[in-house]
Structure 1
Amino acid sequence: MLCYYLRYIDLHAIYEQLPAYEPGHVTPALANIPPALCDTLALYFDDLGYCLSEDIEEWRDHPALDIAALAGDLIEADIEGIEHSTGCPAPTAEDELTPHTLESLLRFASEGRSNEKDDYGALHSLLIYQYDALCSLHSSSRLDDSLALFESIASTREVMMHCHRELIGKETISRQARARAALAHRETNAHRATAIERWHAEGHQFSSMRAFARSTFRDFGVTDFMTVYNWLREARKGSNR
């Protein structure tokens, strides 16, 4: 699987088939998604594709596997971010979806949508994470559990739509605010470069990239170790291309 937290949905197949998928047609289904959920999830994965592409109109020109891998990374980062901010662990694809695991997943979703109510991207990933579990339950014909999860999904969707309305309602950033943002961006880039250099020099002293980020993130002007971790992960991807 291309995402540590998705136990059912085949991201590669999604992005291979999505460009030709026609909403409203029950067959053929989109990848391995249950037909009743295809139109909804096609929309969410299409939006995610736009977020991952430099050109909003041309993401479909990218290799499906590349987009799928990026999508998996983004969902992982968002779910890990929610775990970090809430202190509530999220069941992974390695966890069997038992009633106890489902209870943990529902608790994580509740904490996540409450804590990330202003972060549209995190809510979007949380919703995909929940739908993935719903697809798994559906494939096992676990109706009662599916209904409980669907209620949780409906709550997450409501919070996400409220967040979306708030974003749409905000005024365009002023020139002065844009200038401040540009300065902050330059400062962030400087911290990012320093973090990468230090990782190359001292990374061998730590058990993992994540351990390095946890230990040093405050040295780079950020308040969350995930920021440094994502910087390093992006730099590694860039060096491997």
Structure 2
Amino acid sequence: MSETRRYLQHIELEEITKPSTEWLSIPSQLHDLTAKAFETLYTCYGENTNQNPADKQITERLIDDALSPIAKRIYEGKQTPEGQRAYSRGRLFSTSLSSLDTEMRGVIQEQASMAALMIYQIDRLIDLQKAGSIESILDVFADLSNLHGELTRSEEYECVMADAEWEVVNQASKRAKLRHKETNQNKIKALAEWEKTGHNYSSMAAFATQRRKAYDVKERTLYDWIRGHCRQKL
């Protein structure tokens, strides 16, 4: 039996997974957060819901898989005084962070896990709303807000890193092209010098040994240039 069926008491996954189905099980105020959570979950697991909508069983499995690592961190967090206080107030995301070093917060949380926990907390909000537990609603909503903020920052960081990686690759490509251009120019100059003064050297090897530094290449490279050039003339 899927753990999701035990965790989610109010969100009807059939509504989520069927296109153009109205979300009657979720208050309209929570639609945007819910859509964000499921979109992130599907994206993290490579499910293209525009081309091939995920069915209920797939969605249940994704939520179960994503909740597993963060559930372990919640359990560990409960062992600390800070975490126990957060857990007693329904702040599960805060509980999961309480066992981590400060510098690790925000990077240890996987996007899929945060998205799945958002779905779980939204379901809890619906339950608390029906029960009229105002104080608990505020605690869970605060935790949900922190989750959403952390997930957004994580995605923005991922975009920044992707842009930075592209820029590094782009700059490296430009430098490689520049070096290649400079090498070709040096080759042309070296061959021109050989044509003009090559008779002053005892051999191609001697020319390569004495003139390699002038063209910023290895001796073997310069020798191969000259030899190839001479063979083409035969």
TM category (shorter chain) comes to: 0.5 to 0.7
In 2, distance between residues paired with 1:85 and 1:172? 31
Unaligned runs of 5+ in 1: 22-28, 91-99, 176-241
CA apart distance, 1:122:
1.3
Residue pairs, 1:133-148, within 5 angstroms: 133-148=124-139
Give the fraction of aligned pairs with identical amino acids, expressed as a percent: 20
Residue pairs, 1:37-116, within 5 angstroms: 37-52=30-45, 54-55=47-48, 57-60=50-53, 67-88=55-76, 103=88, 105-106=90-91, 108-112=92-96
Q: Does 1:8 align with 2:10?
A: yes
1:5–1:76 Cα contact (<8 Å) kept: no
- Aligned match of 2:106: 117
Deviations 1:104-153 (A, max 9, x none): 642x3213356573321111111111111111111222222111211111
Residue pairs, 1:145-184, within 5 angstroms: 145-170=136-161, 171-172=164-165
Aligned length: 151
CA apart distance, 1:79:
1.8
Residue pairs, 1:186-201, within 5 angstroms: none
In 2, distance between residues paired with 1:69 and 1:127? 19
Larger Rg: 2
**CA spacing shift, 1:141–1:101, aligned 2, 3 Å:** farther
Deviations 1:184-203 (A, max 9, x none): xxxxxxxxxxxxxxxxxxxx
1:113–1:159 Cα contact (<8 Å) kept: no
In 1, distance between residues paired with 2:158 and 2:115? 14
Q: Does 1:129 align with 2:120?
A: yes
2:74–2:93 Cα contact (<8 Å) kept: no
Partner secondary structure for residue 69 of structure 1: helix
The CA RMSD over aligned residues, in Å, is: 3.2
In 2, distance between residues paired with 1:101 and 1:136? 19
- Aligned match of 1:34: 27
What TM-score does the superposition give when structure 1 sets the normalisation length?
A: 0.52
What TM-score does the superposition give when structure 2 sets the normalisation length?
A: 0.53
CA apart distance, 1:84:
2.4
Deviations 1:155-203 (A, max 9, x none): 111111111111111144899xxxxxxxxxxxxxxxxxxxxxxxxxxxx
2:87–2:95 Cα contact (<8 Å) kept: no
In 2, distance between residues paired with 1:46 and 1:8? 19
**CA spacing shift, 1:123–1:54, aligned 2, 3 Å:** closer
Deviations 1:28-85 (A, max 9, x none): x50311122123313332443445555464023x5xxxx2222222222222211224
- Aligned match of 1:96: none
**CA spacing shift, 1:172–1:54, aligned 2, 3 Å:** farther
Question: What amino acid is aligned across from residue 51 of structure 2 in structure 1?
Answer: E
